[in-house]
Copies of this chain bind each other. A is one copy, B any other.
Amino acid sequence: MDVPALVEAARAGAPRAVARLISLVEDGHPALREVMAALAPHTGRAHIFGITGSPGVGKSTITNALVSALRARGQRVGILAVDPSSPFSGGALLGDRIRMQDHALDSGVYIRSMASRGHLGGLSWTTPQALRVLDAAGCDVVVVETVGVGQSEVEVAGLADTTLVLLAPGMGDGIQAAKAGILEIGDIFVVNKADREGADATVRDLRHMISLGDRTEPDLWRPPVLKTVAARGVGIDELMAAIDDHLAWMQGNSTLRDRRIRRAGDEIEAIAIQALRARIGDLRHGEGVDELAGQVVDGTSDPYAAADSILAAVT
């Protein structure tokens, strides 16, 4: 594999090169080390949006509307749809992506679905590396949208600079949000489908619950709660303005850098642990562990003493 040529093509925005690099990430390919080293100087420019919310709140529709707004400004956009529960990936378009068809033929938009479960650590290191590829490929904005539910929503939000939490009226509202732990992670809350009954009550509930949090110090970001009807483009300008405000606020203090340092730390840690797992796995295949395990079974050793021997062997 000619890594320098592939990286050069991806940096020029060639969709096939970008696709190839993300496939390497999904496969945990040995060339990733060289790829990431080559990409490093070209990263850190994209603004990463995380979009999270329960199924049915309109994540794809909002994403579609945001992409239109970003394209109208001339910005290049990457969209990464992460489905932690799906074994399918490799750039296959999800059914949901049909709603993205406005942009399917736009060369300024790169759309990718990615499965992550069961892949050498899941979200914790495949997704950040895919973001790194899209960032280096010149995307001004990358939208990470999770297709899964539950814990993965919170995890995906942790990968973003700006996290949008979507709700819809009558879908369980603020209480559900609090239960799912998403009140803490949202930088901007969006009540989509706001032409439905109950939208104002949902907005009120959310504002109330946010005011109960520890975010009332004057210098802290106070997450706005906006209303949209994304299918008709209503409220999207206001949402873009709120996103811009959030970016400006983060750039005006240490938040953007702090978040990125924490994320990079998580990524580094995940790669280090994966490398150690691989070394221990090699020991197991080489039967070094079986002998120790036999001693534990016989009661002549215990699991901690055996683990010490393993650690001595891999370190």
Give the interface of A toward B (CB within 8 A): 32-33, 36-37, 39-44, 125, 128-129, 132, 257, 260-265, 267-269, 271-273, 275-277, 280, 284, 289-290, 292-294, 296-307, 310-311, 314-315
* Known pairs A41-B299, A272-B307 / 9 extra A-B pairs, C-beta < 8 Å: A40-B302, A43-B299, A264-B306, A265-B293, A268-B292, A268-B306, A268-B307, A269-B280, A315-B315
User: Contacts A260-B297, A261-B294, A297-B257; is A304 near B32 (CB within 8 Å)?
Assistant: yes
For A132, list chain B residues within 8 Å (CB): 303
- A268 contact from B42, B273, B293, Cβ within 8 A: B293
Name the CB-closest residue of B to A281: B269
- A33 contact from B275, B289, B292, B304, Cβ within 8 A: B304
For A311, list chain B residues within 8 Å (CB): 272, 275-276
Contact yes or no, B261 A301, CB < 8 A: no
Identify which of A257, A294, A299 gathers the most chain B CB atoms within 10 Å of its CB. A299
- A275 contact from B32, B305, B307, Cβ within 8 A: B307
A1 to chain B, nearest CB (A): 16
Docked complex Cα distance between A169 and B134 (Å): 52
Contact yes or no, B290 A261, CB < 8 A: yes
Docked complex Cα distance between A41 and B302 (Å): 9
Docked complex Cα distance between A44 and B298 (Å): 7
Task: Indicate how many identical chains form the complex.
Answer: 2
Contact yes or no, A302 B36, CB < 8 A: yes
- A271 contact from B37, B275, B307, Cβ within 8 A: B307
Q: List 8 contacting pairs A-B, 8 Å CB cutoff, sorted by A.
A: A32-B304, A37-B302, A41-B300, A42-B299, A260-B297, A261-B297, A267-B303, A271-B307
A273 to chain B, nearest CB (A): 6
For A42, list chain B residues within 8 Å (CB): 299
Pick the 6 closest A-B CB pairs, nearest first.
A315-B315, A264-B293, A271-B307, A40-B302, A265-B293, A264-B296
Docked complex Cα distance between A278 and B272 (Å): 12
Name the CB-closest residue of B to A260: B297
A130 to chain B, nearest CB (A): 12
Docked complex Cα distance between A299 and B275 (Å): 22
For A280, list chain B residues within 8 Å (CB): 269, 272-273
Docked complex Cα distance between A20 and B41 (Å): 54
For A294, list chain B residues within 8 Å (CB): 257, 261, 264
Docked complex Cα distance between A54 and B284 (Å): 33
Identify which of A132, A303, A305, A314 gathers the most chain B CB atoms within 10 Å of its CB. A303
Docked complex Cα distance between A268 and B285 (Å): 14
